[in-house]
Structure 1
Amino acid sequence: MGICYCVLVIYNKNIKDSISYKMLQRQIPVIVCDNSTIFEDNEQMVKKDQNVYLSMNGNHGLSRAYNCALDWIFKQGINTDDYIVLFDDDTEIPNDFFTKMENVISQKHPDILLPIVKDEMGILSPCRIQNGKVSRLADIDNCSYEEITAINTGMTIRLSLFKDYRYDENFFLDYIDHHFLKDMKKKDVSIEIVDTLIQQQLSIWTDDSQKALDRLVLFKKDIFQFYKDDKKTAHYILWKRKIRYMLKYKKISILWKC
């Protein structure tokens, strides 16, 4: 029982430029799901490192990439008491991450393990989902099981949870993690917060306003999927994001272009 694979999804990036990949390949087998739409010589390099390369043949979203990795894993007949861990391609992984995760696995055998993720604004994950809305926590100890949620970065998951479950491919990029944990809590799975700290940079910002708008279009689709039964909340969250983008890029047109 332990962590058998890390699943790493990349998009239009050479694998040698991935901070996460450089750190992971020295510690654990990596499954690289390549969502790239431009040619990179990733397959040759990943296989040379004796890791697993899965081409997605274009960008079909994060959920489908995760599911592709899970399908491959289950075809290998791997022990479902083992775990996988999810990472972004640009995450700096702390030196104690795997040691602390493996220690908790061996002692408590939880279904899901969550690291502490911080950005420049404070604790990013774990976070709280309350009355359907996701918000930050000032204190990770002050959150009930019903309220806890988290982002994908560093999430470590027992494979047995995927025997009869796959990620919802109606989600392309955002809220995949929150939807997954929402589903898992319905099954009363055990969740453990592990005191290993990951520093994360906010990925919603870019100096290119057109790329930001493209990102906002994807966010809109996912937010309305997550809140499909609560359109009022979806509109509220979308408009908050639009206003932040408008203020950053000084373009009022953002308000009606998405």
Structure 2
Amino acid sequence: MIKVTDLKKSFNRTEVLKGINFEVNDGEVVVIIGPSGSGKSTMLRCLNFLERPDSGLIQIGDQTVDASTAKRSDINRLRLQTSMVFQHYNLFKNKTALQNVAHALIVSKKMKKSDAFEKSRALLKEVGLSDKEDNYPVALSGGQQQRVGIARALAVSPYAILFDEPTSSLDPEWVGEVLRVIARIAEERKTMVIVTHEMEFAREIADRVVFMADGFVVEEGTPEEIFDHPKNERTKKFLQSYRNSSARREAALQATEQFVSPEAP
């Protein structure tokens, strides 16, 4: 289980998280949605202390930490419960895809190189990159780099994987391949927390959706409850804004297609 209780975080005098409370059950996929600036990514980074919360309790698996009194040893034990997939991949540029996946196994898990590489090859195969193991990040597309990042997150067998807007830095043509990999992992009942702006993906993959705004959890429920029958006015406003922007993008795309390929008279 992941349990977050009264989590707070400020940057200087700006209060970003104003008392966050939510839970994630074993094997559950929880998707966090909400407008930009609502604190979604900050909350996710606080879970493994990439950002140190000001206060609150965080339980992940069998580890519980009080943010206001946590020592380095407490934080390290908590971090071992999760892996994170970042917006901007964060791969080692001087290492191949195989070496990037194997790195944590060799350094943190003290695994023999031969065993680490064997496991890493299997994970690269799982994300569809068996033929790219010797490629450096510069030779990989954005989608391929993100899939290496997912394989790296899986390598250490964490209790939970945290995804921080995993498609936000990708060109549209690469988004689908990354989402398909995440969906396959979800089918294995891996505990996951995903921050995303991909609403249709959230609807399809989530067991539960959490809507955040203005530093609070405003509403949560099943995808059907949130997307089809939201109760809170703030949630309704956000989803309507999303639908309107999607409609405008579709209309613009259709207009462009008509301009590029006009019908013959």
- Compute the TM-score of the two structures, normalised by the length of structure 1: 0.28
From the two aligned structures, give the one with the greater helix fraction.
2
Higher Cα Rg: structure 1 or 2?
2
